Every structure is written in C-alpha cells, then in structure tokens.
C-alpha cells in the first residue's frame, strides 16, 4: 500500500517557507504522493484554517519536488470551467513530468457553489458533463452539452497522457461516477470501520452499474481522520483492499512526524 501526505495547502502550510520545507521533507521521507484539497470561498468560521487555491498550490509543489506524485483530493469540479481546467491540468502534468493525479468531486457547500454561480441541484449533472468535456478537448473533439459547448478549437500542447481521474465522495451518485468513468475512488476522513462500509457500497455500485471494459480495477485512496495513524489501523485499511493512504498529521505535529519518517523511511507507515 502506498502512503501519501494530505494537507500542504492549508493551515501553517500557507507560509511559503513552511510549505517548501515540509514538501521536500516528505519527498525525502519516501511519501508516494502529496495531495491538496479544494475550497475557493467558505462560510466564515473560526475553525477555518485558511488555504491556498488548489491548482496554484499543486503547481508550486511540482516546482519544489521532483519525484513524488501530485494529487488533487479533490477539485470541486462544477465550480471550475472545464475547458480552462483541462488546459491547467495538461500544463501541470507536463511541467511535473507526468506526476499528476486528478481527483474530482461534486462539492457540497451550498454558499460556496452559489458564489461560483452553480445551483446546488446542478452540481452532479455539471460534474458528469465537465468530465466528458475535459476528455473531449484532450482528444481534439468538439463538445455540446447543457452547460458547456465548444467547437473549432483545440488545445496545444496536447497532453502526453491522460492523467488518472479519481472521483471523491461517499454518495451513491459519486460511486456510480467512479465506477463508470474514473480510474479510482477517493474517501476522505474515514476510519477503518467507515471505510469498510464505504467500500461495501462501492462494490454494490460495481455490481449495479458495471465497470466499462478495459478500465481495469478501481484504485482506492483513503484519507484517515487528521492525526496519527497507528500500524494496526494501517493493517486494517490494507486488509480492506485500500491501495493508498493519504495521511494528514496535525499542524502542530507535522514537522516532528515528517522528520521521524525521514529518519525511519516510508516503512514507518507502510503496511506491516
């Protein structure tokens, strides 16, 4: 099982020196990937730590590192214009030399979606259509939908590859989207027991909707609740068939945790 690091876009990590130090330490420690989340405008709350914009943050992490993979966990797709986003993702994948993993979700924060001009009841339909629109522009095809239409345009450079698409979310609609149109599924802040329930639902979705021929096995990524993850929990996730854990140390513990992992190697958190 691979081990990624989640959270370098938020809290103390918005400081450029802290972000650079932690990203480089994580790469040296043997993390397989670095993941950032996506919120553009949230309701005011004393618990909101502040965060960097996801595409900018991951592009900066690409420049700070050289081998670690780079993931969105996840982009709120309906609040991003898909033709522009396709160009951004191609550019990021090329500049990172093929290290990008594109996680997408439908979103759930109604005031944020409204601020971006997206009615809450359209978010699922927009997510499906925007995924199709991005794939079409990557393949030089025109596209006509309910929310986006284009023709007689192409993007250059073309992507050297299709970055893997990971769909986040625990709803039946999200699992259907993952099964039918994605390379992987992403679950956030799930304990081993919660992950077991979610993966049972995912298996039901595979039976109900069918996996398209040639798409292969869904890669499963889980972010446990923030804080330390012990070896027994790692073993339980592995036994469930999880392919990747993206852990989120608490800000106050992150430097110590990363330094300990750098000393011990990735096996400190790897599958026993």
pLDDT tens per residue across all 272 residues of the chain: 999 999 999 999 999 999 999 999 999 999 999 999 999 999 999 988 999 999 999 999 999 999 999 999 999 999 999 999 999 999 999 999 999 999 999 999 999 999 999 999 999 999 999 999 999 999 999 999 999 999 999 999 998 888 999 999 999 999 999 999 999 999 999 999 999 999 999 999 999 999 999 999 999 999 999 998 998 999 999 999 999 999 999 988 899 888 887 776 555 454 43
**pLDDT at residue number 258:** 86
Domain of residue 82: give its range. Answer: 2-268
Give CA–CA dist 127/123, Å, rounded. 6
Give the list of residues 6+ apart from residue 256 with CB closer than 8 angstroms, or none: none
List the one residue out of 185, 179, 241, 242 whose CA is nearest residue 213.
Answer: 179
Instruction: Indicate the number of domains in the chain.
Output: 1
The CATH number of the domain where 242 resides is what?
A: 3.20.20.30
- What local confidence, expressed as pLDDT, does residue 252 receive? 86
Q: What is the pLDDT of residue 265?
A: 58
pLDDT at 264: 65
Beta bridge partners of 75: 104
Tokens (6 digits) for 1: 């099982």
Give the model's pLDDT for residue 106: 98
pLDDT of residue 261: 75
């Amino acid at each position: 099982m691979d081990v990624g690091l989640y959270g370098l876009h938020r809290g103390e990590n918005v400081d450029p020196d802290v972000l650079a130090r932690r990203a480089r330490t994580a790469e040296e420690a043997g993390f397989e990937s670095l993941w950032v989340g996506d919120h553009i405008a949230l309701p005011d709350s004393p618990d909101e730590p502040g965060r960097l914009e996801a595409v900018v943050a991951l592009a900066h992490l690409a420049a700070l590192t050289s081998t670690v993979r780079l993931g969105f966990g996840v982009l709120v797709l309906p609040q991003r214009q898909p033709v522009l986003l396709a160009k951004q993702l191609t550019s990021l994948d090329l500049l990172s030399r093929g290290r990008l993993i594109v996680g997408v979700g439908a979103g759930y924060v109604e005031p944020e979606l409204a601020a971006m001009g997206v009615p809450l009841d359209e978010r699922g339909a927009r997510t499906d259509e925007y995924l199709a629109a991005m794939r079409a522009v990557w393949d030089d095809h025109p596209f006509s939908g309910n929310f986006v239409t284009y023709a007689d345009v192409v993007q250059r450079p073309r992507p050297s590859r299709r970055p893997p698409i990971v769909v986040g979310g625990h709803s039946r609609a999200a699992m259907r989207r993952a099964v039918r149109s994605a390379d992987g599924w992403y679950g956030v802040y799930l304990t081993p027991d919660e992950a077991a329930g979610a993966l049972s639902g995912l298996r039901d979705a595979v039976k109900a909707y069918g996996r398209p021929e040639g798409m292969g096995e869904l890669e499963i990524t889980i972010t446990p609740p923030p804080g330390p993850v012990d070896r027994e929990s790692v073993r339980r996730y592995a036994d469930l068939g999880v392919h990747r854990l993206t852990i989120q140390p608490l800000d106050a513990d992150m430097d110590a945790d990363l330094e300990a992992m750098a000393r011990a190697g990735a096996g400190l958190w790897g599958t026993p």
